[in-house]
Amino acid sequence: MTFLVSCANGAGTSLMMKLTADKVIKKNNIKCTKIHHCSLSEGKGQAKSFDVTLCPQAFINEFKSAVDAGKIVIGLKNPMSAQEMEQKLKEAGVITE
């Protein structure tokens, strides 16, 4: 499974989201072959190449083409919250118990 983490500028927030995603992925034994963080402008073009895209809730509509292509796009109210990220991944069927 591949993950894309995207925020406005692709520096601070996306890096922190990537670190949070790493923890959640490892904790839940998700088979992850790639996790990439980037800016919103880069992410919009690349999202269809990833299985799951994580972004702040405010940017979720920017990834409509990925959703239309059958990819999972998850918007987070608190992008640094491992608890919220884990819950949303469960709701999306990425984490199965």
Residue 97 maps to a domain: no
Residue 43 maps to a domain: yes
User: How many structural domains comprise the chain?
Assistant: 1
Contact 72, 92 (CB under 8 A): yes
Contact 8, 40 (CB under 8 A): yes
- Note the pLDDT tens digit of each residue in 16-37: 999 999 999 999 999 999 999 9
| pTM reported for the whole predicted model | 0.93
Residue 42 maps to a domain: yes
Percent of the chain with pLDDT over 90: 87
Residue 25 pLDDT: 96
Residue 82 maps to a domain: yes
CATH code for the domain of 54: 3.40.50.2300
Tell me the residue range of the domain where 53 lies: 2-91
Structure confidence at residue 42 as a pLDDT band (50, 70, 90)? very high
CA distance 44 to 85: 20
